Chains A and B, each alone.
Chain A
């Protein structure tokens, strides 16, 4: 049983393609629709200048985003230390990428971040939201999960860096409770350090994902739920076949955001380990920063940047295409 089985006629409402009945029509008609010629004429006149209106934003994006990207792509084909002029070396940097052990570690860690941050904060956020949304006083249950979100990324890294250090609070608590692992070196060895940082990140991000899911749950129309309940659905079946499909537009966005955020993970790693020790916790974004700004290898670092952009672009494209395909069915 799916939502469509319950109320086939309402399915378009939840597909998110329009903004409810008549939503599109209203948007198209826009202000002035059928309100007299003079006004329509003025809009048509401004219509000729429409590019003028968007041009400041366009110039802004082109100068600050597209041009630097093209420059980075060019630099990736050169050897350059930030002084003098870049020397063109063709695909040498890309060949070097293939042989670079540290880059492989970095890719492995980035994949761990992708898996970890899409599973933990998003999955747990959904779980807490579902468990608490129709409870009396549910907001009190949700509050503690939301509080860590108020912290800045750098502050989060700094505090957890201290908690997870060899003689830090985490180990002290474990030892005090007589639990095993009281001497764990959370941040000193890979991939344990990456996993520890993912857990820290999940601790902070869970709340906001939970909040988004609660909003999603609250915006689900009551009718299909009631209908499903009358048909005898409850518990897991209700969630799997009614609630989950109704929330798809929202989950697409939440997973998509988590995916992109995980691919560009930088701040928390930089604050907690700076990618170390011995480059064991670097992500692609950290490797890029290190190669460009610490090692002054602008060419090679640019090649890492191009690789990261390509991976992020491809992953987002594939993911969104898949989701769009699903919604189309």
Chain B
């Protein structure tokens, strides 16, 4: 009897202790000085690159990096949002600019990086042109993790076979596409319906026709049923019906699709270079890149779509000082040179020389006065509008005749969104 009583008392005490521990504040050692920062990101495939940066950082400023990579975007977003309310907080995390950055800044969660930007722009480590995409209500948040420009990758062997040259005007591009089509070659790759990139051609056609309308549309100042937008959809429709695109139902990876020569050209971000080199293709020999000419030749500047993903830290980061120290280091040339060259992509730091001459040329050309930078639609559109648009464009690719319905549906969500949000102008 005695032993059973003792047993029960022991069990209850242990249970109570367990519950108390669970309910207590806990001590996970996340506070205090840190020598290794956890970098949460939605770029699981970049883990080796982050690790290389961590090694360099450890060597140069004593802060190591442990990347925690997610591959599923919704899960990642949910985790970051939840971390705002819990004690498990990332030291550093990746995010997107535009509406999504604004959203979390307004919750007073993101650390202010205005000082880093001020010093960076002065020293030339950060581009003044990029600053506005990191600015919310006059203050800067986060620093550029990566920058990419969107343009056309072309299969050099196919171009050589048909004696084609990279076009410099829209008319030349269409002529090249027509030539390819007449030879039974599909000119352009189109993303598969399940891809995130169903917006790419919409963005390119609209920005290349009327960049002001594109920006007004992103800020809620224009309607998706605006005649200018409708016209762009009609042009896209005629291109699809004209057989200019590969079948969007193709499940192959875009890089494999492009490598196989099924489509002669693919409209992609400069990060596509990494996929090309991973598949053993060489810039200049197997493939080339040209910037997309405007649809409207009368525009004073070439609309150049770009994306810039931020690297952020939280206002209540476990060790705010260490996180800020890392972000300061991140924008410096030694860090950026390593970052750009390991991934084979352009750098957000204009002073950095990229080893690949073709990429270096793109960086220099992009920074030139002849371009008007246009934020990628993925970042420019508010999240609910983007979700509706991605589904809408996705459906449109299979049934181009539904374009007006698609625009009306997006506009409905657009109107709803801007009713409750401030104008982003």
Contact = CB atoms under 8 A, between A and B. Distances in A.
Interface of A: 42, 45, 49, 81-84, 102, 161-162, 165-168, 185, 187-189, 273-280, 289-290, 293-297
B391 A278 contact: yes
Contacts of A289: 74
A49 B5 CA distance: 12
Given A167-B250, A188-B398, A295-B383, 10 more contacts: A45-B4, A82-B77, A82-B78, A83-B84, A83-B104, A83-B107, A161-B251, A188-B249, A189-B399, A296-B383
A49 B397 CA distance: 64
B159 to A, nearest CB: 23
B238 interface: no
A273 B104 contact: no
Nearest to B12: A52
Contact of B398 (A275, A278, A290): A278
B387 A280 contact: no
B273 interface: no
B378 interface: no
Contacts of B402: 278
B169 interface: no
B269 interface: no
A277 B107 contact: no
B4 to A, nearest CB: 8
B315 interface: no
Contacts of A290: 387
A82, A161, A278, A294: residue with the most chain B Cβ atoms closer than 10 Å: A278
A275 B248 CA distance: 15
Contact of A273 (B84, B194, B388, B396): B194
A284 B91 CA distance: 37
A84 B383 CA distance: 16
B387 A276 contact: no
Given A185-B398, A293-B78, A276 B249 contact: no
Contact of A162 (B247, B251, B397): B251
B193 A276 contact: yes
A10 B150 CA distance: 76
A188, A289, A290: residue with the most chain B Cβ atoms closer than 10 Å: A188
B251 A279 contact: no
Nearest to A59: B19
5 contacts: A185-B398, A187-B249, A188-B398, A278-B394, A280-B395
Interface string B373-396: 000000000011001100110111
A189 B107 contact: no
Nearest to A96: B416
A166 B247 contact: yes
A228 to B, nearest CB: 52
B397 A83 contact: no
B103, B391, B397: residue with the most chain A Cβ atoms closer than 10 Å: B391
Given A82-B81, A276-B395, A293 B194 contact: no
B75 interface: yes
Contacts of B383: 81, 295-296
A167, A275, A277, A279: residue with the most chain B Cβ atoms closer than 10 Å: A277
B396 A295 contact: no
Nearest to A282: B391
Given A83-B81, A273-B193, A276-B394, A295 B104 contact: no
B216 interface: no
Contacts of A49: 8
A270 to B, nearest CB: 9
Main secondary structure of the interface of A (DSSP, over half): loop
Contact of B77 (A42, A278, A293): A293
By Cβ-Cβ distance, the 7 closest A-B pairs, closest first, are A278-B395, A293-B74, A277-B193, A295-B387, A166-B249, A82-B81, A166-B247
Contact of A278 (B103, B107, B396): B396
A185 B392 contact: no
A45 to B, nearest CB: 8
Contacts of A279: 391, 395
A65 B41 CA distance: 29
A162 B252 CA distance: 8
Interface in B1-31: 4, 8
A84 B105 CA distance: 11
A297 B384 CA distance: 8
Contacts of A275: 391
Nearest to B82: A82
A297 to B, nearest CB: 7
B92 to A, nearest CB: 19
A278 B387 contact: no
Nearest to A56: B15
Contacts of B251: 161-162, 165, 168
B384 A278 contact: no
Contacts of A168: 251
A297 B382 CA distance: 13
Contacts of B394: 276-278
A280, A295, A297: residue with the most chain B Cβ atoms closer than 10 Å: A295
A236 to B, nearest CB: 44
Contacts of B77: 82, 293, 296
A289 B72 CA distance: 13
A234 to B, nearest CB: 50
Contact of B250 (A166, A276, A295): A166
Interface in B85-99: none
B398 A189 contact: yes
Nearest to A87: B420
A275 B390 CA distance: 12
Given A162-B251, A165-B249, A296 B395 contact: no
A246 B251 CA distance: 47
A117 to B, nearest CB: 22
Interface string B242-264: 00000111110000000000000
A276 B194 contact: yes
B17 to A, nearest CB: 14
A294 B391 CA distance: 11
A276 B388 CA distance: 12
Contact of A81 (B4, B8, B103, B247): B103
A287 to B, nearest CB: 11
Contacts of A167: 247, 250
A294 B76 CA distance: 11
A214 B75 CA distance: 41
A273 B392 CA distance: 14
Contacts of A83: 81, 84, 103-104, 107
A188 B394 CA distance: 10
Interface string B317-352: 000000000000000000000000000000000000
